[in-house]
Structure 1
Amino acid sequence: MADQHSTLRAQRRAETQRTIQAHAVRLFTERGYDATTMTDVAEAAGVSPMTVYRHFPTKEDLVLADHHGRLVAERILASPAAQPLVRRIGTALVDSATTLTGRGDGDDPSANKRFLLARLRLMISTPALRARHLDNHYALQQAIVDALGDEAGDPDAAFQAQAAAGACLAAMHTALVRWAEDDGRTELPDLIAKALAAAFGNDVVGTDLGA
């Protein structure tokens, strides 16, 4: 029973976070990031400013907070350790993008795609968010290295993992920018796969990713 209550609390918390963030991204897009306050977001979401701050300590978090790092790490942990680093990381990035763009409010994946596109445009166009986005990039890189696991005790292996993760994330960033410019007309996982294939070749990344 205690586990059930804990699960329900976690679900309610996640739903509140999604609601607040959705209203925040909408207001930032409609009014401008600098012109929108945390109080504006709270009013639009129907919660108190204290609730907004409890879930999102800073204004930047309203845009940048996501579960991408966890999704990528889960997929790396599930991948065969014998695979090349770039293959493990690249597959995880493509798979997590498939999950993120396919998950929407209710049964409407397009709603989530519009939300992700709006977030991405805000990250690209807002100076304050670009700076914090770089921090998120480093955090994701470290999450990837941590998920690879065995590399942590070997400085040379850790360096190789960091280099592979950084290179894969650079390719993904190129795909994200193109996805925003293309207004989401091309599927994001396909763009990430093509960017990885362009950087590393189909033989390294795998024909199933680069196709």
Structure 2
Amino acid sequence: MSEGGQSLRERRRVETQRMIQAHAMRLFAEHGYDATTVNQIAHAAGVSSMTVYRHFPTKEDLVLHDGYDPLIASRVAARPAGEPLVRRIGRTLVETTRDVLGPAAGDRPSPERELLLARLRLMIDTPALRARHLDSQYATQRAIVGALLGEAPDPEAEFRVWVAAGACLAAMHVALTRWAREDGRADLPGLIAAALGAAFGEEFGRDSGGELGEGAGGDAAGGSGRDAGEAAG
């Protein structure tokens, strides 16, 4: 995740968040999510409980927070406007995942990859986190819709974008779950691309359906949404 253009204060805030989250994930792995308290996390991180809550308003946020939504939104907005929606959104998700995980250092996975794998395992195994994860996914969907439509969307275009974004994220969720259950052995960006290909066809909807413009493929977006929903089920 690029931090170019961030102020010193913002960089320090992000560094503090990452440090607290790293300690939280270690304690969750050692003692279990339910058995670990925010006070224990604060002590391990060398900060006050108030500082933890300032960065993570709830205990669940220590697992769910990643801060990637603004990056996804800016990238999806920067792709060609005439690109089919599912391709525009899907390729953004694949490319952003690849960039966020970063390259491995020799035989050692990147810290971001290890953190994501630990977070996903907790989300899968902890009922309270599974429920909150839906809220997190909805926030990402809303960020994508906002980036593509702006402040005064046409209702029909808005509907198509919500469908396409939701379906792409559903396909990505299936890939993330499989990746975590297989201990992160697969190439995650490739697995996400495969899930999107299964949902939308080769190259994520190579047909003309799904653009924002007039007459764009509402049927293609809606049909793809149904396929992704079946895969997620």
TM-score between the two structures when normalised by the length of structure 1: 0.89
Give the aligned residue type for 2:15.
Answer: E
Query: Do the aligned residues in 2 keep the contact of 1:23 with 1:45 (CA within 8 Å)?
Result: yes
Q: Deviations over 1:51-75 (max 9, x none)?
A: 1111111101111111221121111
Assess if the C-alpha contact under 8 Å between 1:90 and 1:205 holds in 2.
no
How many angstroms apart in 2 are the aligned matches of 1:10 and 1:109?
26
Q: What amino acid is the match of 2:162?
A: Q
CA contact (8 A) 1:42 1:49 kept: yes
5+ residue gaps, structure 2, are 1-5, 207-233
> The residue matched to 2:110 in structure 1 has which SS?
helix
| Pairs aligned (count) | 199
RMSD: 1.9
| 1:14 equivalent in structure 2 | 14
Cα distance per residue 1:75-112 (max 9 Å; x no partner): 1111001001001000110011112211789xx75222
Secondary structure of the structure 2 residue equivalent to 1:96: helix
- For residues 94 and 178 of structure 1, the distance between their equivalents in structure 2, rounded to whole angstroms, comes to 15
Higher helix share: 1
What residue in structure 2 maps to residue 142 of structure 1?
Answer: 142
- Counterpart of 2:118? 118
Runs of 4+ in 1 over 3 A off after TM superposition: 203-206
Question: In the alignment, what sits opposite 2:185?
Answer: 185
Instruction: Indicate the percent of aligned positions where both proteins have the same amino acid.
Output: 63
Q: Which runs of 5+ in 1 are unaligned?
A: 1-5, 207-211
1:73 aligned counterpart, secondary structure: helix
Distance in 1 between the 2:150 and 2:48 partners?
A: 45
Which SS does the other structure have where 1:80 is aligned? coil
Partner of 2:156: 156
1:47/1:200 CA distance change after superposition, 3 Å: same
Partner of 1:209: none
Contact 2:87/2:203 (8 A) holds in 1 = no
**Structure-2-length-normalised TM-score:** 0.81
Greater Cα offset, 94-103 or 134-143: 94-103
Counterpart position of 2:84:
84
- 1:49, 1:150 → 2: CA distance? 38
